[in-house]
Amino acid sequence: MQGRAIRFGPSRDGVLAASMWKVWAEGSEVYATARGPGGSAKISVHASGQIHYRLEPKLKQDLAPLAPLPSGVWHHAFELRFLIGDGALVPFGVKESLKNKPSYVVSISNGSSLLTNLIIGPPGIPDEMPLPPEFSPDGVSLWKTRLRDGRLAVLVGRVLQLNAENRAHIDHIRKTVKPTISFKGKPQQPYIEVFHLHWSAEGGNVVLAIPLGSEAIRNEEEDLPADVSTEATRDIDFHSPGFVASVRAPDGAEVATVELTEARATVQLIKGVSRSVEAGQLNLRLRPNNLIAGSAFTVAPFKVAGGPAMSGASLNKWAFSIASKFDGTRLSIELRQNSGAIQNRNLPTPVAQLGDNEELVIAMPEKNLSLSAATDAPTSSENILARLTLRGRR
């Protein structure tokens, strides 16, 4: 395909096997994006050679810049690998959502994978220039376009057998990391896909798209005992130490403080039954003198340490995420939900109330929480809750 954009994805047995990606050009830059169950991912390849990855408009990660291929003419931007393991779930409604927009589906068999590479040639390179030998003999040109500055952008596609490295990537995500999403009730058509980024001397920037299987789907009520009244309660000490953080405008000025107050409670838990606990008060205090009326801005989400502890056991690498924006009159923040699970096998000192085949799941806050304040009413607050669930460990 030639032109401004291409939408593509892999299929097995006539069924789309992963989220579709769109690659397109604007001026002298190339972009790639996919909308997965957890939101949108976007890669931007700039004319300067810099490459960025974004999970949302203001959450940016720098990738390695354009790198020359050993053959000398082309530069490599990134490789996107669709790694479909056994028992992977399939997305639903993707092609229908495109309506009449054209899309390109590459058929792969069980045990094979689709690899796509974005390469960029120098100004003046002919459209019919052969693909670099690094992608021979399996590579074909899926899409190409001429950028405004005269360079040629080409998306190369290859269908290859899953090798040991890629099988190890699938096993690491699905069997070692084992991400899960819990639903209330049984979802009709669940789908979970993980995007994993890494860099290697052989492949440069690599994005792995790995659909998960049914092992990643959990029902919050699946561990509910047949007769809750016979289950013994367990007293868990909940402690949230709270935090104080600054919100800063793009010029570095502190425009607000966000405070989560400390909270302590003893919670009686029954296996399989979720309980809510008061987890502190979220306070927003503006510094009106540092805000310029009518001058809107959005601040990149930032992380704040200060996660909860259960009977003295803390979650590793817990951090709250706070997003903020100013519309010229009001400053709004969003404290986003974080979640994790405590398991005795990961603790230096086991929690006495927790069995070896159990885990204690914490979601805090229970849902994303938003606050806003204006320069003429510069404070706002709201109590937050955490949700605790004791369940069997998979």
Q: Report how far residue 24's alpha carbon sits from residue 153's, in angstroms, rounded to the nearest whole number.
A: 10
Q: Which of 32-36, 97-101, 268-272, 290-294 has the highest mean pLDDT?
A: 290-294
Q: Identify the domain boundary among 219, 245, 261.
A: 219
Q: Mean of the pLDDT values across residues 306-314?
A: 91
pLDDT at 20 over 80: yes
Tell me: do 208 and 248 sit in the same domain: no
Tell me: do 335 and 369 sit in the same domain: yes
Tell me: do 126 and 261 sit in the same domain: no
Q: Identify the domain boundary among 219, 236, 267.
A: 219
Lowest mean pLDDT among 126-135, 286-295, 307-316: 307-316
Q: Identify the domain boundary among 219, 238, 260.
A: 219
Tell me: do 56 and 132 sit in the same domain: yes
Residue 344, C-beta contacts closer than 8 angstroms, at least 6 positions apart: 350, 351, 354, 355, 356
Lowest mean pLDDT among 88-102, 127-141, 221-235: 221-235
Q: Report how far residue 322's alpha carbon sits from residue 307's, in angstroms, rounded to the nearest whole number.
A: 14
Pairing of strands 104-107, 5-12: parallel
Residue 196, C-beta contacts closer than 8 angstroms, at least 6 positions apart: 169, 173, 207, 208, 210
Tens digit of pLDDT for each residue in 234-254? 999 999 999 999 999 999 999
Tell me: do 235 and 290 sit in the same domain: yes
Tens digit of pLDDT for each residue in 312-348? 998 878 999 999 999 999 999 999 999 888 999 888 8
Tell me: do 236 and 208 sit in the same domain: no
Neighbours of 64 (CB within 10 A): 15
Instruction: Assign 3 a pLDDT band (cuts: 50, 70, 90).
Output: confident
Tens digit of pLDDT for each residue in 337-382? 998 889 998 888 899 989 888 899 999 999 999 999 999 999 999 9
What end-to-end distance do the CA atoms of the chain give, in Å? 45
Tens digit of pLDDT for each residue in 48-73? 999 999 876 556 789 999 999 998 89
What pLDDT is attached to residue 97? 72
The kind and range of the H/E element at 76 are: strand 75-82
Count up the domains in the chain and report the number: 2
pTM: 0.77
What pLDDT is attached to residue 300? 82
Tell me: do 127 and 75 sit in the same domain: yes
For residue 325, the enclosing domain spans 228-392
Tell me: do 129 and 264 sit in the same domain: no
Tell me: do 42 and 141 sit in the same domain: yes
In whole numbers, what is the pLDDT of the chain averaged over residues?
Answer: 90
Tens digit of pLDDT for each residue in 175-218? 998 888 877 667 778 889 999 999 988 789 999 999 999 988 87
What pLDDT is attached to residue 272? 80
Tell me: do 180 and 305 sit in the same domain: no
Tell me: do 235 and 211 sit in the same domain: no
What pLDDT is attached to residue 7? 93
Tell me: do 200 and 322 sit in the same domain: no
14-34: burial string, b at 16+ Cβ within 10 Å, e else: eebbbbbbbbbbeebbbbbbb
